Chains A and B, each alone.
Chain A
């Protein structure tokens, strides 16, 4: 990947080298929603202390979130973040900046020490253990290492997400077939992960993340293990999913991609949001 020096230049969309089929469409769509100051939006949405107030416009609100681990390390400090529905957000920052902690808070693997994390109108600290699985089904999560089950076929890996959440079998087949078609893996449905390329494995993981019809896709370094060409394929797929109305939050170190796409960029450093701009680049352009 390119170093910081190179990506300080104006975004060179590497379209000459990279097959951005259809990406033009998504770039044209890039009229990202205006950034509303987190506090005021939250007040408007949740005013009067009604934590259940829900609109169709906001998927995620972080309000004044601080996370301190028992060992005293403060991973996040006073983070305010509002992600409207349909947004495509890059989460950038050096290792240890708090990206992983942020993701853990979103899937309620951790609870904030202070502040609120409101997903789809629900304060995650108040939902109770029993409701955690239901909230997690509103999120599809994709990892750098794919996290596929090696002994299951592509189809089974995707179906697994529905099976273990108690979906009736008659509804599993059409849902899995639909997402596999969406990610272009219908032909590979019977293959096992070791028979697939890295890109195909990641597309399987994306299909699995999508099969619940989530409100939000969290992609944690989805291109970290892939070569640049395949990385762009995955990014395109995420853009297409975003076009279909699914909000995407992608944590990445891939400066080329961030800078080229000019989406909303939230930069974390030492646990603070140091930058939140629409049409941003990987590094701050002064």
Chain B
């Protein structure tokens, strides 16, 4: 067995270098295709992160009754936090609401008009962040689907004065993110298929160029394993080499690229560690996998019928 593996590896090595032109062409194709795949993977990851960020901005703002007691508010927050759809709840006091308004006027370089007010017109409120923007309606209805007994407030939660209706906006955001997510996935699958076919075909060409060698092996009585495995190892070699080169290029490009996209990444807290690991696994896996599959499929044509 060890002898067989040693033989196959030796033959793969010889095969690679003795057919250098074909091997280099296959490796170059592999590198380009893996770069294409990795590039689209990174773009898609960026897109998904952007969409996630956008969706995370969707929250439910419920204004509280001015006469709600601290205990009522605490109970309300605890109940809402216990809902499975809810990520977290921020409680905003009337003072905080006023400060926020002032801050936003300042940011827009508008005059602060609140100084003309006798009292704070803002309600205290809670901001509910959801695990998924699509759950907006569910949570909203649970909090306030109909007015309370006095015709004001909410029947479900007496401490809530009203829930801001952002349904239309949320629907738009959800629709756009869904479309973009699907489009990203479709593009990635199409790119994946293109990469698959081009690499398998390139390796097939390299194998076909050596049809005579395979023919001779068959005629002198080589078993299928002795014919197949050297080619499979050679395909894996092309895969490893292609993946290593592609990763080298990506590594070299990562720094200037991330500086170029600094603003983008400042807004979006992308998990870079995760992306690096994903791209590493993707490129190596795709390289070796496609090399092996390509060789396996290509050699099969020549084996004993």
Chain A residues in the interface with B (C-beta under 8 A): 107, 109, 129-130, 132-137, 139, 141, 147, 149, 151, 160-161, 163-166, 168, 208, 212
Contacts and interface: CB of A to CB of B under 8 A. Distances in A.
Contacts of A130: 223
Contact of B221 (A109, A129, A149, A212): A212
Given A151-B18, A164-B227, A133 B219 contact: no
A165 B216 contact: no
Contacts, number: 56
Contact of A212 (B18, B212, B213, B220): B220
B218 interface: yes
Given A164-B227, A166-B4, A137 B221 contact: yes
Nearest to A147: B216
Contact of B223 (A149, A165, A208, A212): A165
11 contacts: A107-B219, A133-B223, A147-B212, A149-B216, A163-B11, A164-B217, A164-B226, A165-B220, A165-B223, A166-B3, A166-B7
A137 B223 CA distance: 10
A132 B7 CA distance: 21
B223 A166 contact: yes
B219 A166 contact: no
Interface string B1-38: 00110010001000000100000000000000000000
Most chain B CB atoms below 10 A, which of A133, A134, A136? A133
A166 B222 CA distance: 8
Interface in B183-212: 212
B304 interface: yes
B226 A166 contact: yes
Given A133-B224, A137-B221, A151-B18, 8 more contacts: A133-B221, A133-B223, A136-B220, A136-B221, A160-B217, A161-B216, A163-B7, A164-B226
B304 A132 contact: yes
